[in-house]
Amino acid sequence: MPIYRVLPLSFLLLLWEIAVRLNNKWIFFFGMPSKIETYFVIKMLNGTLPVDFAITFFEAATGFIMGNLFGILLGITLWQSRNIFLIARPYIIALGSAPIFALAPLFIIWFGTGIFSKIMIATFSTFFVALFQAHTGASEVKDEYISLMQTFGATKNQIFRKIIAPSSIVWVVSAFRMNVSFAILGAFIGEFISSNKGLGHLILVASGLFDISLVLCGIFMLMLMALIFNYIISISEAPLKKIVVKYL
Amino acid sequence: MNNCISINNLDKVFSSKDSGSVHVFEDLNLLFPMGKITSILGPSGCGKTTLLNLLAGLAKPTRGTIVFPESCQLSVGYMMQEDLLLPWRTLKENAQLGAEVTKNKSTLQGKELKKNFTDFDLAKTMNNYPDAASGGMKQRTALIRTLFYSPKILLLDEPFSNLDFETKLKIQEYLLKYQFEKKATIILVTHDIQDAVALSDKVIILSKRPTRVKKIIDIKLSIHKRNFATAYKSNDFKKYFLEIWNEISTKL
């Protein structure tokens, strides 16, 4: 089956290559697959592309982990008290829907132009999705399950471990999936605004030079990164559920 | 009186925004003798489940009191109408839930649990997940879960509704054995007059809302109750059946 998955891509690349070769002017607008490949090989060999990729990956991954961790923790804390959640909700919605592109310059000012500010932007971008998913997951639990636990005389802690955590894990994993693109976007925007390394920097410089093939090379690397993230999540989903169900 | 769960002047009001408040009970007074099986019959909506919820402590009465005898440890097992099995646990793991919570180590042993599943004809399916089990299997698992942490007071809300006749007889026999061995108190809500007569020492018939006690019938089946076949065939069984039948159908 994997062989058939490659077919549409190969066909598209071939068509693209032929079209640009027939119309030389188009290379300015669309780049050319063979040129993207040349950039890829050169930059891999001279080591700049792996470094850019690794930096962006590190920023996105660290932000992803921190954003999800803190988001889930706060989401569950807010689930404990309905009143506090109702007070906090408008603030969370306001902060969570503020465009990250507008906030990013502030993060650069607060946390500097290095890697740390990008990590913080990625953390901020993923935090709210994780918070809402964890909170919704915990709130969606059937009241009857909680009643059942109460008839056993279960403590709030036991109810959380045996009912809330296992039933909201599905929501949390779907937060992970959504947050892949938010984490990469956060890291990218940070680099795009101010940096001297990373894929965001590469794309910014290349687009300034109107080098479309290099821009596309960077974009493909970002797509690759998203695929890697998704793959890691999909293989860790089952063990994670198992841990929560069996050992909590 | 000390050997009864007594319900005194009970009143429960449900208030909702659109339909105003609903009085479920009107000054309800009831006694449930300890160590006996009491069945509650009544038209739907008369508050049978609400009564069990109040007894289980899941809801608070609006007025009146529910008094448990001091001697009894407050271990109440409540099997609700819905099976409420957790979809991420196998039937076996679901059955362990109550014992896990109460940390009743002695009952946590796998052997005893396996025996329970065998008694309930579920040995082959105990490692399946609930979505692969029939309604009857789930109901039996819910009953195992309730019995498995050895409560002294059992509240059962229509526990046999999804079972075929043969399985039902088996489970009822098991339940009687459990009650006899543990000297447990069972309060059973049912729609089935036969079940009520076959199992109980006392049948309470409730009226429509606002609910009050319509009639209390003491069941004294002369034949030994632990033998169902003879109990069902006896003349007394028919007598009790008709008595309850008349009481319920006059209201229809």
- Across the interface, do A163 and B86 touch by the CB < 8 Å criterion? yes
As a whole number of angstroms, the distance between CA A82 and CA A23 comes to 63
Candidates A144, A150, A154; nearest CB to B82: A144
Domain count, chain A: 1
- Across the interface, do B84 and A148 touch by the CB < 8 Å criterion? yes
Domain boundaries, position A101: 32-247
> Would residue A70 count as lying in a domain?
yes
Check pLDDT > 90 for residue B163: no
Give residue ranges of B with CB < 8 Å to any A CB: 56-58, 76-78, 80, 82, 84, 86, 88-89, 97-98, 100-102, 149
> Would residue A11 count as lying in a domain?
no
Write down the pLDDT at residue A11: 93
Contacts of residue B19, Cβ cutoff 8 Å, sequence gap at least 6: none
Which residue in the block uniquely carries the two structure tokens 């960077």?
A: A218
Write down the pLDDT at residue B1: 47
- Between chain A and chain B, the number of residue pairs with CB atoms below 8 A apart is 41
> Would residue A74 count as lying in a domain?
yes
A153-190 pLDDT per residue, tens: 888 888 988 899 988 888 999 999 999 999 999 999 99
A112-163 pLDDT per residue, tens: 999 999 999 999 999 999 999 999 999 988 888 998 898 888 888 889 888 9
Write down the pLDDT at residue A104: 93
> Would residue A9 count as lying in a domain?
no
> Would residue A138 count as lying in a domain?
yes
CATH number at residue A174: 1.10.3720.10
Distance in angstroms between the alpha carbons of the first and the last residue of chain B: 34
B4-42 pLDDT per residue, tens: 888 888 888 887 777 778 888 878 888 888 888 899 988
Residue A151 touches partner B, C-beta closer than 8 Å: yes
Contacts of residue A173, Cβ cutoff 8 Å, sequence gap at least 6: A233, A237, A240, A241
**B125 or A248, which is more confident:** B125
Q: Are B76 and B55 in contact (CB under 8 A)?
A: yes
> Would residue A10 count as lying in a domain?
no
Q: Sort strands B63-67 and B4-11 into parallel, antiparallel or unpaired.
A: antiparallel
Give the gap in angstroms from C-alpha A153 to the nearest C-alpha of chain B.
7
Check pLDDT > 70 for residue A79: yes
As a whole number of angstroms, the distance between CA A44 and CA B52 comes to 71
Candidates B56, B77, B80; nearest CB to A144: B80
Write down the pLDDT at residue B82: 85
Give the gap in angstroms from C-alpha B228 to the nearest C-alpha of chain A.
31
> Would residue A122 count as lying in a domain?
yes
Name chain B contacts of A148, Cβ cutoff 8 Å. Answer: 78, 80, 84
Write down the pLDDT at residue A21: 93
Query: Which of B88, B93, B143 has the most A C-beta neighbours within 10 Å, making it the best mutation to test the interface with A?
Result: B88
Q: What is the dihedral of CA A60, A64, A65, A66, to 10 degrees?
A: 100
Write down the pLDDT at residue B109: 66
Check pLDDT > 70 for residue A54: yes
Record the pTM: 0.77
> Would residue A139 count as lying in a domain?
yes
Kindly state the tokens that stand for A128. Answer: 């709210």
